[in-house]
Amino acid sequence: MSLSAIGNSERPTTESLDKALEVYSTRHLVRRIVLLTLAMLAVVLVSLMLGRYTAWPSQIFQTIAEHFSASGILTDPKLDRALFNIRLPRIVVVVFVGMALSVAGASYQGMFKNPLVSPDLLGASAGASFGACLAMLMDLGNEFIQIFAFAGGLLAVLCVLGVNRAVRSDALLGLILGGILIGTLFSSGTSIIKLVADADDKLPAITFWLMGSFASITLRDMLLTVPLMVLGFVMLLSQRWNLNVLSFGEEEARSLGVNTRRTRFIVIFGATLLTACSVAIAGIIGWIGLVVPHLTRAIVGPNYRVLLPTTMLVGAIFLLIVDNFARLIYSVEIPIGLLTSILGVPFFAFIYRRNMKGW
């Protein structure tokens, strides 16, 4: 039944339409998103400049232009190598991991109707850690560590889906319960590996890996991760309206015409892909997936249609800044997972005070 059939709205439609469009105007949000995009480009540029071999923007632009020019003449081959073999892959991967963890965290917070949820809820990180440690214990090479980590993450979440099916309770409760059980199981597995690992070389390597780092990112890593992560982004972004609806609960979402099972499956698959990829390439980087979505809500509000793409920008900026500190603050790199936790806690307390009164 159309509204005009039951309504008292006999007023001219143009006037109503103008008001409606004004209420739903997103002009103020667009301005903020443009600013954030510019901020991200600025941070990327600054990150390219900083390092053992500091360069000015003019040098960077010149080197990039020369790199892609047909002549192949380089005025500064050292900078060319630093940029294209080390800094650029690292910065691209940091940007993508920042985006991945933030968007996965924001999606889970909506799907589980809980602002305190982070992307490792369903055990993807625990599984990936276990996989990586197993590969290190078996003395496998770097690429196997990544493959094992990725597979471990997927396996853990598959197990959680299995538990959910077996307990057959409320869909969300079953998933959360499964996440706790399987997460604990895989963490125990990791502890066992640490226990039997050689305390002289393997144990420190494992411990260091678990703290997260972008120090050894190569061009190959970048080319491997980016397409997988793009797939994850597309999946999550495709559900961003439905995430609004899901945050009102299962029954309401269905009464609003959302196929909740399908949406949940896409969100879990996308978020797991992104989390497992992140852990495989950079180890455990905590707090980003919890803090950044809230930071973004403070900037553009909670509507997932805008929040989800914006949280990717904010996540990239946040992690890039932290990574710059990690590589520059001290002569030895500081594990980035430690820094994100140390920075994340006060940040979270601040945001909580400012805009979480509604909880």
Partner 1 sequence: MATLLEVKGLTTGYGKKEVVHGIDFTVGNREFCCVIGANGCGKTTALKCVLGILPAFSGVILLEGANTADMTVRERAQHFAYIPQLHIPPFPFKVADVVLLGRTPYLQSSAGGATEHDKLVAWRSMDMLSIENLADREYTELSGGQQQLVLIARALAQEPDILVMDEPTASLDFGNQQLVLTRLRALSRSGMAVLMVTHDPDHALFCADKVVVMEDGKVIDQGSPSETINSDKLRRIYRTEVFVADVDVGAGYTQRTCIPLMDATLMDTRKG
Query: Taking contact as CB under 8 A, which single stretch among the options 18-26, 90-98, 134-142, 199-207 is the one that binds partner 1?
Result: 18-26
State the Cα–Cα distance between residues 358 and 116, nearest whole angstrom: 13
Within residues 205-244, the interface with partner 1 by CB under 8 A covers: 237-242, 244
Indicate the DSSP class of residue 114: -
Q: Which is closer to partner 1, CB of 143 or CB of 252?
A: 252
| Cα angle value 134/140/142 (rounded, 5°) | 100
Whether 208 contacts 336, CB under 8 Å = no
Q: Which of 289, 284, 291 is nearest to 336 (CA)?
A: 284
Q: Closest distance between partner 1 and the C-beta of residue 181, in Å?
A: 23
Q: Closest distance between partner 1 and the C-beta of residue 114, in Å?
A: 6
Q: Which is closer to partner 1, CB of 137 or CB of 245?
A: 245
Q: Which of 200, 111, 100 is nearest to 153 (CA)?
A: 100
Q: Closest distance between partner 1 and the C-beta of residue 193, in Å?
A: 37
3-class SS of residue 76: coil
3-class SS of residue 291: helix
Q: Is residue 302 a contact residue for partner 1 (CB under 8 A)?
A: yes
How many of the other CB atoms lie within 10 Å of CB of 69?
10
Whether 292 contacts 344, CB under 8 Å = no
Q: Which is closer to partner 1, CB of 38 or CB of 230?
A: 230
Selected binder of partner 1 within 49, 67, 81, 114 (CB under 8 A):
114
Selected binder of partner 1 within 147, 231, 305, 338 (CB under 8 A):
305
Which residue, chain included where needed, has tokens 């992140």?
A: 278
Q: Is residue 19 a contact residue for partner 1 (CB under 8 A)?
A: yes
Q: Is residue 121 a contact residue for partner 1 (CB under 8 A)?
A: no
List contacts with partner 1 (CB under 8 A). 1-9, 13, 16-17, 19-21, 23-24, 109-110, 113-115, 237-242, 244-245, 247-249, 251-252, 254-259, 263, 297, 301-303, 305, 355, 358-359
